[in-house]
Amino acid sequence: MGLGGCILLIAAGAILTFATDWEMSGVNLDVVGLILMLVGLIGVATFSSIARRRRTVVPPVAPTVAERDDTRGY
């Protein structure tokens, strides 16, 4: 699951928790929304830690000095 999927889970959970007043027998939609938001946050944290490890820092390379051409006779 990528970053977009995690954000979608967070948004769906927030909608279920805060924006709906539906009632279903045997299912508490507030708890389902909180679980979706929690899973989305865990996914974002996991994705960011994996993405941080993928980044590699390449040290700067010193510029190469070209040899001087002394055959021109200055």
Mean pLDDT, range 6-25, rounded to an integer: 93
Burial group, residue 57, by CB count within 10 angstroms (0-12, 13-18, 19+): exposed
In a domain, 67, yes or no: no
Total domains in the chain come to 1
CA distance 40 to 3: 9
The pLDDT of residue 24 = 87
* DSSP letter (8 states) at residue 24: B
In a domain, 74, yes or no: no
In a domain, 7, yes or no: yes
In a domain, 16, yes or no: yes
pTM of this prediction?
0.67
Percent of the chain with pLDDT over 70: 74
Q: Which range is least confidently modeled, 25-34, 37-46, 48-57, 59-68? A: 59-68
The pLDDT of residue 11 = 96
Indicate the length of the chain as a whole number. 74
In a domain, 65, yes or no: no
**Residues spanned by the domain of 47:** 3-52
Q: What are phi and psi of 27, to 5 degrees?
A: -130, 125
